[in-house]
Amino acid sequence: MERFRGGSPATIDAKGRVKLPARLREQMEIGFGREVFICSFFPHELRIYPLDTWQVFEEQLLAKPAMKPAVLKLIERVNYGQSVEIDDHGRLLVPALLREMVEIDGEVVVSGRINHLAITRRSRAASILKEPSLSDEELEELAQLEL
């Protein structure tokens, strides 16, 4: 399976398009094709999944108890996502509703998150890198996961 790594600055233009960084775009197109699903799990970022990867996630989600509050909340949140296609210039049209919901435009960072890409406001990405490192509790939790 293709793994997405690294991040690059980008810009969402006035029409709502973002040009994917060349390396990440090539990985996406060669490994998965141009059709993607773009959604938001969190109020600070958008997620871009190769459509095949998203469909596997949907199947896993459907296998969970449908009335669990966390499952319902996640389904409701990602329901605002849309399938879109990367154009011939490597651009992705970010749906207006998602841009508004996540308050994302202008300068952003597009980063690889192993099985998907993320778009984050550049100011948010900078603040994350300036935050303190992992706490002792978080390091212990990761150690228990053998990471």
User: Among all chains, which residue has been given the structure tokens 């709502």?
Assistant: 16
pLDDT of residue 15: 95
Please indicate, yes or no, if residue 2 is contained in any of the structural domains: no
**CATH number of the domain bearing residue 34:** 3.40.1550.20
Q: How many CB atoms lie within 10 A of CB 34?
A: 16
Please indicate, yes or no, if residue 79 is contained in any of the structural domains: yes
List the domain range (segments joined by +) for residue 105: 7-144
Please indicate, yes or no, if residue 97 is contained in any of the structural domains: yes
Please indicate, yes or no, if residue 1 is contained in any of the structural domains: no
Task: Compute the C-alpha angle 24/49/100, nearest 5°.
Answer: 100
Q: What string of pLDDT tens digits covers the 147 residues of the chain?
A: 689 999 999 999 999 999 999 999 999 999 999 999 999 999 899 999 999 999 999 999 989 998 899 999 998 889 899 999 999 999 999 999 999 999 999 999 999 999 999 999 999 988 888 888 888 999 999 999 886
Number of domains present in the structure of the chain: 1
Please indicate, yes or no, if residue 95 is contained in any of the structural domains: yes
The dihedral built from the CA positions of residue 104, 118, 111 and 132, taken in this order, carries a sign that is: positive
Please indicate, yes or no, if residue 93 is contained in any of the structural domains: yes
Please indicate, yes or no, if residue 63 is contained in any of the structural domains: yes
Measured between alpha carbons, how far is 104 from 36 in angstroms, rounded to an integer? 19
Please indicate, yes or no, if residue 43 is contained in any of the structural domains: yes
Contacts of 26 (CB under 8 A, 6+ apart): none
- List helix spans (H) across 3-95: 22-32, 51-62, 69-78
pLDDT of residue 1: 67
pLDDT of residue 66: 82
